[in-house]
A = this chain, B = another copy of it.
């Protein structure tokens, strides 16, 4: 393992290794607070993303390393027409590891083929966002105690939501997983995912349009944003959106230990009244994301 471009670059056992390390870091932060002293992380964000960028930066700083980079394409050489291949070859002599977000699918992969330092894909278009998947897996593993034997609801925009696709891809590798795919017709998961991933692997799943009906059965509910722009017309949006908004009333239907996850930012798909529910773990999830990134950086830098 040299780069992390897709969540599936990691075998189940490499992944377990990272989650175990993240857990150890969480239990003893001091032990790791200087382990990357003298190492530099470059954050190359061709597309802004505060949360992801700052999570990486916090991770590197927590390890005693330092950070350099840019937070949008205008302040980069991309504006002068430089290729990602050239940029990464230069950055390779400025930093020890790099996290790249790019609007073009595949750009971090191309970078990795020219790079002499580990490249972490921090999101490439609608394609992959592997450290979000690691964050989701760590959250489930840590707060549920397992990654198998789970009934997982995905709710909202399942068509365009790359975090959903990645997490489905990652979860099918565990035993006895059942997916409940909750979305309006317009936003169902793409055919390739249904056919090549779920059907091909004989994964148990159902597609439904109503959150309330399925809530009582779920072990986990993974919420995503439903964007108005995804609908053909305003009326459809207004008619449908309430079915996919999680509020206290709907939460009262769920199990005592059902967890609510969300990749954030949240807009209005989870009512703020849910935030105080102990089953709402989306802010905890963001916190755990720092630790799993620390573990990943350590693995890729081979200091672990």
Contact = CB atoms under 8 A, between A and B. Distances in A.
A79 B168 CA distance: 28
A66 interface: yes
B58 A94 contact: yes
A50 B87 CA distance: 9
Contacts of A51: 77, 90
Contact of A48 (B48, B74, B85): B74
Interface in A1-54: 33, 38, 40, 42, 45, 48-51, 54
Contacts of A70: 50, 54, 71
Interface stretch (A142-150, A198-206, A208-216, A263-271): A263-271
Contacts of A38: 33
A89 interface: yes
A181 to B, nearest CB: 24
A40 B38 CA distance: 16
A46 to B, nearest CB: 11
12 contacts: A48-B74, A48-B79, A49-B77, A50-B87, A54-B69, A54-B94, A61-B68, A77-B265, A87-B265, A89-B283, A89-B286, A90-B283
A288 to B, nearest CB: 9
A163 interface: no
This chain's copy number in the assembly: 3
Given A51-B90, A66-B66, A80-B267, 11 more contacts: A45-B75, A50-B87, A54-B91, A71-B75, A81-B265, A81-B267, A82-B265, A85-B272, A86-B264, A87-B265, A89-B283
A267 to B, nearest CB: 5
Interface of A: 33, 38, 40, 42, 45, 48-51, 54-55, 57-58, 61-62, 66-72, 74-77, 79-82, 85-87, 89-91, 93-95, 264-267, 272, 283, 286-287, 290
B77 A74 contact: no
Contacts of A57: 68, 94
A66 B61 contact: yes
Contacts of A77: 49-51, 265
B68 A58 contact: yes
A27 to B, nearest CB: 16
